[in-house]
Amino acid sequence: MARESVERPILGVNTPDAVVAIYVLCYRRAFGHPALGGAKMYCSQCGTQISAADTACLACGRLLPNTLDASTASTPRITYPAVADRFLHPYYGVGGWLSFFIFSIVFAAPAAHTWNVVRQYAHSMEIFAHSVHPYSLYSFYFVELVAGFAVYGYGMFAGIQLWRIRPNALKHAKQFLIVLLLYRFADYLMGINWLTLMLSDRARAIALPNFLVGKTSQTLLRSVIYAGVWYVYLLRSERVRVTYAESS
């Protein structure tokens, strides 16, 4: 049986399918597909120019996938500058327990220390007045007072550095916790030295046991717990790691 030729109208003239295919191929090579605004697309098997409307390549007959290889010459790829991942992290910045720690070393701890100094001043002066060497105790008390305010002043500085996310802020915070512990231990040991060397035997017999298990020892224990807990937090916190990555 003779194969029947199928004809299509082009510009008002009936034309066989083979001629139509050749015409379309030549048109697309010259002008590109109108729907793509002139962007050229090619078959990934034979390299023949195709359009997004084709289901198969006109040259090799290969079925075309939904995504085609487009020429990058006519459609340049847009690139964006990279942003550091830590600034996009949900834990970046001051917040949560970190903000509580900053508040404690900038406001709460200095205020509590100042209140304790004011509250115990009169009692300390009374003890010094009845001691064997009052002037030595006055001198030591003044040195201890200056050292205490220096330690808590350094803590305020470290807290402000943490709040402003400054370089080395994390290092200052850790150093403050260590200095605070050393100050409390030194204060406790020097207190024992006071009572042992500068009080009369009768006064020492009463004051020393109270000192060893009294408020000073309780303050030392609280300082050890406070510094230990927050030091571990600064080491293991995800927020601290992300926020102060450059200074850790």
Looking at the fold, whether 108 and 143 belong to one and the same domain comes out as yes
Asked whether residue 1 is assigned to any structural domain, the reply reads: no
pLDDT at 81: 44
Domain boundary among the residues 70, 95, 113 is at: 70
pLDDT at 185: 93
Asked whether residue 79 is assigned to any structural domain, the reply reads: no
pLDDT at 163: 96
Nearest Cα residue to 152 out of 107, 100, 116, 218: 107
**Buried b or exposed e, range 155-187, using 16+ CB within 10 angstroms:** bbbbbebbeeeeeebbebbbebbebbbebbeeb
**pLDDT tens track for 86-123:** 778 888 999 999 999 999 999 999 999 999 999 988 87
pLDDT at 40: 64
Looking at the fold, whether 52 and 112 belong to one and the same domain comes out as no
Looking at the fold, whether 242 and 124 belong to one and the same domain comes out as yes
pLDDT at 30: 53
**pLDDT tens track for 182-208:** 999 998 888 787 777 766 677 777 777
Rounded Cα gap, residues 196 and 182, in angstroms: 21
pTM of the model: 0.60
Looking at the fold, whether 65 and 91 belong to one and the same domain comes out as no
Looking at the fold, whether 165 and 65 belong to one and the same domain comes out as no
Looking at the fold, whether 19 and 130 belong to one and the same domain comes out as no
**Which tokens in the block code for residue 96?**
């949560």
Looking at the fold, whether 42 and 124 belong to one and the same domain comes out as no
Looking at the fold, whether 55 and 93 belong to one and the same domain comes out as no
pLDDT at 39: 52
pLDDT at 80: 40
Rounded Cα gap, residues 194 and 139, in angstroms: 12
Looking at the fold, whether 131 and 17 belong to one and the same domain comes out as no
Residue numbers of the chain with a pLDDT score lower than 70: 1-40, 52-53, 64-85, 131-132, 198-200, 246-248
Domain of residue 56 covers: 7-70
Structural domain total, the chain: 2
